Amino acid sequence: MAADLNALYDDLNVLTEQQIEVGLAGGRWGEGERPLVERYLDRIRLEEAKARVAKHQQLLRNIEQAMLTRQTSSRPLPSSFRREPCWRSSLWGSSST
């Protein structure tokens, strides 16, 4: 049984996610192997999702660190970050006329 499982996982390791899905849809694996293959595919998807979350979290940490560094810096913000006068004030003008 262990040798069969090792052979199954060796076969799955060389296939792409799409190839495994096609194999499942086409009945490539029997009733005994199908749950194992489905679980293998779920584990692949979970690991990919975890990697995306970790990458996103690292990006957010980098942004947070950059913001904290900018707040404690004595340098002024670049001109592209400075707040420009509100364009509406020039449209409505002063009400003291």
Q: What is the pLDDT of residues 35-66, one digit of tens each?
A: 999 999 999 999 999 999 999 999 999 988 88
* H or E stretch at 9: helix 2-13
DSSP class of residue 95 equals: S
Checking if the pLDDT of 1 tops 80, the result is no
Instruction: Count how many domains the chain has.
Output: 1
Residue 18: domain span: 2-72
Model pTM score: 0.62
In a domain, 79, yes or no: no
Checking if the pLDDT of 25 tops 90, the result is yes
Give the model's pLDDT for residue 23: 95
d(CA 72, CA 30): 62
